[in-house]
A and B are shown apart, each in its own frame.
Chain A
Amino acid sequence: MILFSVFSSIALVSSVMVIRAKNPVHSVLFFILVFFNTSGLLVLLGLDFFAMIFLVVYVGAIAVLFLFVVMMLNIKIAEIHENVLRYLPVGGIIGVIFLLEIFFIVDNDYIPILPTKLSTTYLTYTVYAEKIQSWTNLETLGNLLYTTYFVLFLVSSLILLVAMIGAIVLTMHKTTQVKRQDVFRQNAIDFKNTIKKIRDI
């Protein structure tokens, strides 16, 4: 419980800092901190493999990608104007909606904030870990992913392929148009093959 509150509060504070930080690089770093804390929360939930995935994929790859994007965009720090109040009404409304939902969730037997008492006794959930006690998270995932959801597995491979092709198509400049020196080909040119006899003299 202590660790949960530590992780979640650091995650919340740093996610606020992601938005508030003036330097975009700082906000990316806070973003990484959010990911670290989230993976800590996942470990607390017992999802060890997903915590590791969070670290490997999000921190190791996606945050670095964000950093590259930020560095590429050439935003100066002063250019980001402080104009929070413009978006306050819309953001406030959305925030209030989500806050109300949190009250709705919290409003159960443990914390009766609102007078309407919902009975949570009907709520059941399946603890898959109990059904398959001998398996670790990883094996459970593997057994599900490659039997039940194998179509989705293949569709996701298609998604990855398309994402890769799309990234290459959209970011590649036309390299064929630029004339540049190709040392290897210049060295490999054979004298006999270069000059050809077109017609007999």
Chain B
Amino acid sequence: MFLLPKYNSFFIFLLLASVIPILAFSISKFLAPNNTQGPEKLTSYESGIEPMGDAWIQFQIRYYMFALVFVIFDVETVFLYPWAMSFNDLGLSAFIEALVFVFILIIGLVYAWRKGALEWS
């Protein structure tokens, strides 16, 4: 069925996992009483106080910076993962390559640190 036969169980799992939330929602929909008992039932309740303003607040730009630094190191890990897997086949030269790679990115980390990009102030 698939190119990789060991993924059969994975797809069965995927099927089950996608059925469960659908089941959960439909069961609750089926079991719950009809809540059409007036408009007050539908308002959000915020410990006695009427909710004020929008739920959509503007985020600070600092979140973006952290997310970006995270993306870059995420990609770095992706690059290192195959290296770790075939480390035994590759030998010393690949080790040096990976060292250089990590070194260049560590410079980037130090840069971010020194410029205060990692501070929250």
* Chain A positions near chain B (C-beta within 8 angstroms): 3, 40, 43-46, 48-49, 53, 56-57, 60-62, 64-65, 68-69, 71-72, 74, 76, 135-136, 138-139, 141-143, 145-147, 150, 153-154, 156-158, 160-161, 163-165, 167-168, 171-172, 175, 180
Contacts of B76 on A, CB cut-off 8 Å? 157, 160
Given contacts A57-B78, A146-B90, A164-B111, 17 further A-B contacts (CB under 8 A): A45-B3, A46-B2, A56-B78, A71-B58, A71-B63, A74-B58, A139-B82, A139-B85, A141-B82, A143-B90, A153-B79, A157-B104, A161-B108, A167-B68, A168-B112, A168-B115, A175-B119
Query: Cβ of B79 and Cβ of A156 under 8 Å apart?
Result: yes
Contact B101 A164 (CB under 8 A): no
Interchain CB contact under 8 A, B90 and A160 = no
Say yes or no for B52: interface residue by CB 8 A criterion: no
State the majority secondary structure of interface residues on A: helix
B101 CB to nearest chain A CB (Å): 5
Which of B4-12, B24-32, B36-44 lies at the interface?
B4-12
Q: Is the CB of B83 within 8 A of A64?
A: no
Q: How far is the CA of A49 from the CA of B86 in the complex (A)?
A: 14
Chain B residue with Cβ nearest A150: B97
Judge whether A160 and B74 touch: CB under 8 Å.
no
- Interface majority SS on B: helix, strand, loop or mixed? helix
Are B68 and A65 closer than 8 Å at their CB atoms? yes
* Shortest Cβ distance from B119 into A: residue: A175
The distance in angstroms between the C-alpha atoms of A57 and B98, with both chains bound, is 20
Q: Is the CB of B72 within 8 A of A160?
A: yes
Q: Does any Cβ of A come within 8 Å of B67's Cβ?
A: yes
Whether the pair A68, B108 counts as a contact (CB closer than 8 A) is no
- A145 surroundings in chain B (CB, below 8 A): 79, 82-83
Task: Select from chain B the residue with minimum beta-carbon distance to A182.
Answer: B121
- State whether B71 touches A143 (Cβ < 8 A): no
- Contact assessment for A164 and B69 in the assembled complex, using a CB-CB cutoff below 8 Å: yes
- B7 contacts A43, C-beta separation under 8 Å: yes
Q: How far is the CB of B115 from chain A (nearest CB, A)?
A: 6
